Amino acid sequence: MAPLSLCINTQTPLIQFLRPLEGDRLDPASRDPTDLTTLREGVDYRFSPGGVTRMVYPLIRRLLREGVLSEAHWVALNPHAPPVVRLGATTLHNVAIDVERMAGYGKVKEAIWSRIHEIDATERHDDLFWTEAFAEYAYYNRTTAELIQTLDREHDFDVFYVHDFQQMPVGHMLGSLKPKIFRWHIPFDVATIPEQWRAMLTTYLDGYDVIVVSAERYADALQALHPRGKVLRLYPYLDPADYGQPSRATVNATSARLGLGPRDVVALVVGRMDPIKGQDLAIEAVATLAEEHPRLKLVLVGNGSFSGSSTGLGLSKSGAWRDRLESLVRERHLEGRVLFTGHLPQDDLDCLYERCRFTVLPSVKEGFGLVAVESWLHGRPTIVTDRAGIAELIRDGVNGLLFDPERPGDLAEKMRSLLEDRSGKLRARLARNGRTASRHCSLETAARAEEQMLAEVTEA
Amino acid sequence: MVGLATIWGWFAPYFPVVVIVVVTTVVAWVADLIIGRLMRQSTPQMARTARRLGVVVVAVIGGTLVLQAVGLNPTVILLVIGLLGVTVLVALREPLGNYGAKYFSDIYTPFKIGDTILVQGVSGKVIEINPMTTVLLSENDQLISVPNVALIRDVVINTSPQAWKEVAIPVSLGATVDLPTFESDLLKSLTKLRLRLDPRFPPVLTTKSRTAQSTDLVLTLMIRRPEDRDAITLEVNKRLAELLDRMRGGLR
């Protein structure tokens, strides 16, 4: 296969800018790339936390290194960034829209998110596609599609790879005959999709040659809604090389800095502050176990998403959720037993994975759940909600523990089984088998699958 | 030194011609504008054709006056052009008939590429509409070519599910129109008609082709009641015209 020219599109950008840049770097008319090597990481910019940095970027780098790709152009929503940024062989193109339109766009994407995740059963959003806010959602997607078309005229891309539901209309709007791939990252369950949305979703999904989802059950559901489409299941992935093992001294120092004593038994939850992430379930479970296990501490790592951050879209919902969790901690008299660390750099996170007894993925619903894979890579057992995509990789009691988030006490019971595993045999077995299972979600496995998919769509 | 009088002497014989050309250009521009306004609720093809026709009529009158001004008898020239036109029409009546039929079927025949139709006893999925024929793909994978003139002359049955619901309105945008803003404003405007449209099928704007000068799109609506079809088409065309009037550089 000849090296491909790829255009990738995500809502969340790879790079977030932490402060305004001087000169004309923010001039929307300027298409001169800003060279990222002239800026300082942590001062001028940072890599966005989450999937784009841990998953998509490593894949692009690898495919460029292996010669599968000749170049990559990455289009994302990034209102506080220079229009074009050069990052090695990858060029980042940033889309900006004004504040009023952003509000409308944010309203629609949150409504889709809530509906798919069944967050608020009272608010069905049946008429979403008829609202004025939807016109702004269309505006953002059309602006993105127009930029991609302009870039296509300059670079003659071989394939377009569009990520996540926020960008779903882009494929249809591109109107290009070239291959288009869409990756649907969130859960997919036909029952959660209102009747009034289905024709529109089908129209948008028709804009793609292949639709990629993160679990078999999502693939089945999507195929049922959209029988004409080609649907593939590819597990999300991480690069194990990114997960180092810090020294014992570093782990101890970091733990002390974060308020953990040497005898504390740590349960770790990593996820942004969002009701869907179910941190409240973990707090309730700790409340149940607090008296039996007085050394148990729950550590909640994470902040808002790109949408909620001040360097992102400013559509915050994380603050309210954190307030609610803190109030729950007070109600259950768990002050000092539950720690909120906010966002942590990867080195600190590595220390916490090493320090914890086990991790919990308590989400009410979860597209996949890569934090369970991170836990496996650090040799820690994990307790996972059965509503996560990764649940289909977990054999209960063999490589992890599954719980039902709607069954009161189920999570506490699973946590108890690990806390009372005096011999450590259960934890060792879960960790050992978990590491084996993590190979399904390694960059190595994914790169082969993605490469094959690119070959199929471009050479079909 | 050449005096002004001398220059005027050279120029004077041509002065009436220049005046006629200038006046013809202005009248053609005004005619184009007036016809465009009058046809704002028609389909874009109809409006475009009427405007073009208006400009051609003005140009022919202007050309005749120019011929008279330079001392030629336009009668003979017009006669020759007329005879040539009739000859061409007679010689090419079949292809021209098909071409004309395509023009009218584009506007008035309710089917599009992808629909399944039944015409002259043959049925198939429409896969191509070219200036001469409409190509159908039959269920047993045969290509069937139907002369466009048959689509105007004969009964055509669109057997696609819910074909009566679909209203496809072509839209052409000039290069200076910002497509995202146009689409956003159009969708907002159409929310006012939602009671007349099927709630399961919100309006969709699809790009059909694009050149440096213009972008051709199709707005697809699904109506609730068949009897609303004409009224909704008129109303949407009116809204499109108003929207494009507000956005400078819009073409219809």
Query: pLDDT tens across B33-76, in order?
Result: 888 878 776 666 677 778 888 888 899 888 888 888 888 887 88
Does A121 have pLDDT greater than 80? no
Does A115 have pLDDT greater than 50? yes
- Considering only CB atoms, A146 lies closest to which of B180, B188, B204, namely B180
- Considering only CB atoms, B200 lies closest to which of A101, A142, A196, namely A196
In this structure, the number of other CB atoms found within 10 A of the CB of residue B155 comes to 9
- Considering only CB atoms, B207 lies closest to which of A101, A136, A175, namely A175
pLDDT tens per residue, range A146-165: 999 999 999 999 999 999 99
Whether residues A121 and A75 share a domain: the answer is yes
Domain count, chain A: 2
Whether residues A89 and A12 share a domain: the answer is yes
Q: Residue A306's pLDDT is what?
A: 60
User: What residues of A are in contact with residue B183 (Cβ under 8 Å)?
Assistant: 135, 138-139, 142
Whether residues A232 and A275 share a domain: the answer is no
- Considering only CB atoms, B200 lies closest to which of A101, A138, A195, namely A195
Q: Residue B252's pLDDT is what?
A: 44
Q: Residue B138's pLDDT is what?
A: 92
Number of inter-chain CB pairs under 8 A, A vs B? 56
Whether residues A381 and A455 share a domain: the answer is no
Contact: A175, B208; criterion CB under 8 Å:
yes
User: What's the CA gap between A325 and A313, in Å, rounded?
Assistant: 23
User: What's the CA gap between B1 and A298, in Å, rounded?
Assistant: 102
Q: What percent of chain B has pLDDT over 90?
A: 32
Backbone angles phi, psi at A77, to 5 degrees: -85, 120
Whether residues A216 and A252 share a domain: the answer is no
User: What residues of A are in contact with residue B208 (Cβ under 8 Å)?
Assistant: 175
- Which domain range does residue A195 map to? 4-238+443-459
The owner of tokens 């914890």 is: A356
A406 burial level (CB within 10 Å; 0-12, 13-18, 19+): exposed
pLDDT tens per residue, range A232-284: 999 999 999 888 889 999 999 999 999 999 999 999 999 989 888 999 999 99
- Please state which of the ranges A67-81, A350-364, B31-45 shows the lowest mean pLDDT: B31-45
CB B166 within 8 A of CB B220: yes
Tell me the sheet residues that pair with A159.
A6
Shortest Cα distance, chain A CAs vs residue B35, angstroms: 32
Is some CB atom of chain B closer than 8 A to the CB atom of A139? Answer: yes
Over residues A208-212, mean pLDDT: 97
Q: Residue A175's pLDDT is what?
A: 85
Whether residues A427 and A449 share a domain: the answer is no
Q: What percent of chain B has pLDDT over 70?
A: 92
Whether residues A164 and A276 share a domain: the answer is no
**How far is CA B184 from each of CA A130, A133, B204, B220, rounded to the nearest angstrom?**
12, 9, 11, 15
Whether residues A423 and A412 share a domain: the answer is yes
Does B104 have pLDDT greater than 70? no
CB A431 within 8 A of CB A379: yes
Between A24 and B133, the more confident residue is B133
User: What residues of A are in contact with residue B207 (Cβ under 8 Å)?
Assistant: 173-175
Cα A129–A130–A131 angle (5° rounding)? 95
Does B1 have pLDDT greater than 70? no
Shortest Cα distance, chain A CAs vs residue B233, angstroms: 19
User: What's the CA gap between A299 and A224, in Å, rounded?
Assistant: 40
Give the nearest chain A residue to B192 (CA atoms).
A130
pLDDT tens per residue, range A326-347: 999 999 999 999 999 998 988 9
ipTM score for this prediction: 0.85
Is some CB atom of chain B closer than 8 A to the CB atom of A176? Answer: no
Which amino acid appears at position B178 of this protein? D
Q: What percent of chain A has pLDDT over 70?
A: 94
Does A2 have pLDDT greater than 60? yes
Whether residues A313 and A392 share a domain: the answer is yes
**How far is CA B115 from each of CA A351, B101, B171, B201, B225, rounded to the nearest angstrom?**
61, 19, 20, 17, 20
pLDDT tens per residue, range B182-204: 999 999 999 999 999 999 999 99
Whether residues A54 and A153 share a domain: the answer is yes
Contact: A198, B187; criterion CB under 8 Å:
no
- Considering only CB atoms, A203 lies closest to which of B180, B204, B210, namely B204
Over residues A304-321, mean pLDDT: 66
Whether residues A227 and A283 share a domain: the answer is no
Any residues with CB less than 8 A from the CB of A203 and at least 6 apart, and which?
A172, B204
Whether residues A405 and A452 share a domain: the answer is no
Does A304 have pLDDT greater than 80? no
Model confidence at A410, pLDDT cuts 50, 70, 90, reads very high
User: What's the CA gap between A95 and A143, in Å, rounded?
Assistant: 8
Q: Residue B251's pLDDT is what?
A: 47
Give the CATH number of the domain where residue A187 resides: 3.40.50.2000
